[in-house]
Chain A
């Protein structure tokens, strides 16, 4: 099912007299292709959960329309939209067994959609098999691990064969190991069922790793939509660049002089086609190359050996934030000269942003 949002806006009225309304979702326009896995990504308070609730029908938009396929569902109540929703805390009914939890949505069906008991049992078992919990049908939710509860919640959302599946922070209640496993699981289930799935997360790694498409949001505004790798390689503004990637991108205060990027006193990179102006220069950790004669001079902090590669942690006065983190191959030799380590830069890993608007400034690589 294709999902499109047209000028979708949600305002929450303010509580105090002198406060402005909070615009949680501001004029969203985008289209989600059929059968894709979409990650809504942003820091807390960016409006991603509000967007999800607007899609589910639990919240009514202030203005704008929502379409599922060709149907305008904006005015449909949640129960008639045919969405499956998985909550952050799973919201499994604690007094019902796994089987009864999964059966619950089916027992609500009325009229022509009503199923016989055998059909219901079959559907519940099929959903349980899909998420591989068919051996736990008679347990209560509190007898299950977090990951198992998550699967039950997904089975409960899938059992009524929803048109779209919505997941609110599906992995945030799991420990690191389970998170990795469950993330694969969600990916597998989505690919098997081919249901258009939208999930919300503040964890960029989570979104990058399984999404077909990510939507990066901030303060109720969409920053960028695209395939994970595209958004990572070609961020439109400083926020997107800084939000994606671990370790995070290194942001320097710099200046462009005569088509040369200067950080501190050193001209570090030719940037053709950029006029003279103060800029933010953001460099991905993998954009640094150890070079004894390199133009960027940093004070060495420490070297962290990670096995596959090595993190060089250093400081620079123009750096925004604590330290410069660069990743170099583990076989490279860190040469230190009087506490100073020097780098040259890979041009396609360096992004320039306007010092005022923080919008991307593109340059031609030399």
Chain B
């Protein structure tokens, strides 16, 4: 009996081997390697040498104003874009689900940003928002109708740049969320709505007491992936503000890591690793908190 079990076990490991090898080489090993780099001071790729082992790398980046700026930017971006984009996507999907005519047309329109290249979209956003000596840009023109305007959203004050970056991020992530939420809404059994209707339930109550709980697993999925995605934001900022993000005060944590590795002032894998580890810890913590909250509020 136990012999057979042993054989079974060995077989199981054999079947798991390809996946374990693949994950081990491309996921676990690099992760551990980054962890090791983060403790090795002045690590050099070319000579594979380092001067000392300790917490110096963490100490350095935590006192680096550029890193602190990147952390601040990333957190602001996450806190603004994740709730707004999820709520907006929910609103639009509910709207889409309750119309009959032109529904497919609207769905296509809302989905377009998803199949468009982010750099191209970034360029369009830049043209819309940028103020140059020749033109104030379309957004400023529209603001001037209401007595505002004259703000350079791309090269101007910090809040203006943060506004454009958040606006852009929300616009880019919206289609995917709408797609997922519309299908989640469509999969709710109509009988629940009919039952609620016969019992005279108001529309608001149907939404909060039936629809929302029914699609809560999907919302939760979107919030978690949204948090992770926003924490790893980088290309959006590049598309809008160019590669010198530190100068633009618009760097993100991932942007900082990239700069430390390959940027103009790059060549510091140890600092980059330390920053990557800090990002990892942040994302892990936030996801754990999310999971804890969802245990209470997500059904099934």
Selected contact of B195 from candidates A80, A85, A95, CB within 8 Å: A85
Q: Which of B172-192 contact A (CB under 8 A)?
A: 189, 191-192
The answer to whether A58 and B189 have CB atoms under 8 Å apart is: no
A91 sits at the interface (CB 8 A): yes
Residue ID in chain A nearest B193 by CB atoms: A91
* Bound-state Cα–Cα, A87 to B189, Å: 12
Tell me the smallest distance from the CB of B123 to a CB of chain A, in Å. Answer: 45
- Per-residue contact bits, chain A 58-101, to B (CB 8 Å; 1 contact, 0 not): 10000000000000000000111001110101010111000000
The answer to whether B205 and A108 have CB atoms under 8 Å apart is: yes
B194 sits at the interface (CB 8 A): yes
B202 sits at the interface (CB 8 A): yes
Tell me the smallest distance from the CB of A160 to a CB of chain B, in Å. Answer: 7
A56 sits at the interface (CB 8 A): yes
The answer to whether A91 and B200 have CB atoms under 8 Å apart is: no
> Given known contacts A94-B300, A95-B299, is B202 in contact with A108 (CB within 8 Å)?
yes
> Chain B residues near A105 (CB, 8 Å)?
199-200
The answer to whether B198 and A57 have CB atoms under 8 Å apart is: yes
A239 sits at the interface (CB 8 A): no
The answer to whether B214 and A58 have CB atoms under 8 Å apart is: no
B213 sits at the interface (CB 8 A): yes
The answer to whether A79 and B189 have CB atoms under 8 Å apart is: no
> Chain B residues near A79 (CB, 8 Å)?
197-201
* Bound-state Cα–Cα, A95 to B211, Å: 11
Residue ID in chain A nearest B200 by CB atoms: A79
The answer to whether A91 and B194 have CB atoms under 8 Å apart is: yes
B112 sits at the interface (CB 8 A): no
The answer to whether B199 and A87 have CB atoms under 8 Å apart is: no
A104 sits at the interface (CB 8 A): yes
Tell me the smallest distance from the CB of A161 to a CB of chain B, in Å. Answer: 12
In this complex, the interface size class of chain B, counting residues with CB under 8 Å from chain A, is 20 to 34
The answer to whether A160 and B194 have CB atoms under 8 Å apart is: no
Q: Which of B242-300 contact A (CB under 8 A)?
A: 299-300
Selected contact of A87 from candidates B194, B209, B300, CB within 8 Å: B194
In this complex, the interface size class of chain A, counting residues with CB under 8 Å from chain B, is 20 to 34
The answer to whether A89 and B200 have CB atoms under 8 Å apart is: no
Tell me the smallest distance from the CB of A325 to a CB of chain B, in Å. Answer: 39
- Per-residue contact bits, chain A 95-118, to B (CB 8 Å; 1 contact, 0 not): 100000000110011000000000
The answer to whether B199 and A91 have CB atoms under 8 Å apart is: no
Tell me the smallest distance from the CB of B209 to a CB of chain A, in Å. Answer: 8
The answer to whether B200 and A93 have CB atoms under 8 Å apart is: no
* Bound-state Cα–Cα, A58 to B192, Å: 13
> Given known contacts A94-B299, A95-B213, A95-B214, is B200 in contact with A87 (CB within 8 Å)?
no
B210 sits at the interface (CB 8 A): yes
Residue ID in chain A nearest B299 by CB atoms: A95
> Given known contacts A89-B191, A94-B300, A95-B299, is B213 in contact with A80 (CB within 8 Å)?
no
The answer to whether B200 and A108 have CB atoms under 8 Å apart is: yes
> Chain A residues near B189 (CB, 8 Å)?
89, 91
The answer to whether B191 and A58 have CB atoms under 8 Å apart is: no
Residue ID in chain B nearest A104 by CB atoms: B199
The answer to whether B192 and A93 have CB atoms under 8 Å apart is: yes
> Given known contacts A105-B200, A108-B205, is B213 in contact with A91 (CB within 8 Å)?
no
Tell me the smallest distance from the CB of A155 to a CB of chain B, in Å. Answer: 13
> Chain A residues near B210 (CB, 8 Å)?
93
* Bound-state Cα–Cα, A91 to B188, Å: 11
Residue ID in chain A nearest B300 by CB atoms: A94
* Bound-state Cα–Cα, A95 to B214, Å: 8
> Chain A residues near B216 (CB, 8 Å)?
95
Q: Add 15 more A-B contacts to A79-B197, A84-B198, A95-B300 (CB < 8 A).
A: A56-B198, A57-B198, A78-B197, A79-B198, A79-B199, A85-B198, A87-B195, A91-B192, A93-B213, A94-B299, A95-B213, A104-B209, A105-B199, A108-B200, A108-B202
The 4 tightest CB contacts between A and B, nearest first, are A79-B200, A95-B299, A105-B199, A91-B191
B-binding residues in A (CB < 8 A): 56-58, 78-80, 83-85, 87, 89, 91, 93-95, 104-105, 108-109, 156, 160
11 contacts between A and B (CB under 8 A): A56-B198, A58-B197, A79-B199, A84-B198, A85-B195, A87-B191, A89-B191, A91-B189, A104-B209, A105-B199, A160-B199
